Amino acid sequence: MSKRNPYIRKLPMDWWMKQLFYTKYMIREGSSVFVTLYSLILAWGVFRLSQGEVAFNGWLDALQSPFAILLHIIMLILALYHTITWFSLAPKAADLWVKGKKLDEKVIIAAHYCTFVVVTVFCLLIITL
């Protein structure tokens, strides 16, 4: 008679706290909630702009509150975290071959950062000029 009786372990609820790699992954995933939140705040601003100057200034004033500033700092940190972690993963989704050799990961990551800087400077110019 077979004595087999395979034992199936349960996945603990806090599986993602037990390994730093998983925790970082969860923060990366969670950061998208804050990125979405920021986009909504921004979209709300555009909507208020369409309603005229008073409405838009009201929106600007609301952003001056300590809570709004704190929230923005958190959102900025998480957006940067999201960006950095995705950039470092980007080479895995790129299949670029030059002269029969796979393009070096560093080149792909560097290209992402360059684009990031160029776009940021471009946006800053539009906003400030």
Please state the φ and ψ torsions of residue 90, each to the nearest 5 degrees: -50, -40
Minimum separation from the CB atom of position 51 to another protein (A): 38
Residue 87 C-beta: closest distance to another protein, Å: 13
Q: Which amino acid is at 127?
A: I
- The pair of structure tokens assigned to 17 is 């706290």
Largest CA distance in the chain: 83
**Where does this chain bind another protein (CB under 8 A)?**
3-9, 11, 15-16, 18-19, 21-22, 25, 29, 89, 91-93, 95, 97, 100-102
Residue 44 C-beta: closest distance to another protein, Å? 29
Report how far apart, in Å, the C-alpha atoms of 68 and of each of 27, 48, 65, 128 are: 21, 17, 5, 22
DSSP 17: G
Nearer to another protein, 32 or 39 (CB): 32
Q: Which is nearer to another protein, 89 or 107 (CB)?
A: 89
Shortest reach from residue 86's CB to another protein, in Å: 9
Q: Which is nearer to another protein, 13 or 126 (CB)?
A: 13
Toward another protein, which CB reaches closer, 88 or 120? 88
In 17-129 the beta strands, taken as DSSP E runs, fall at 97-98, 101-102
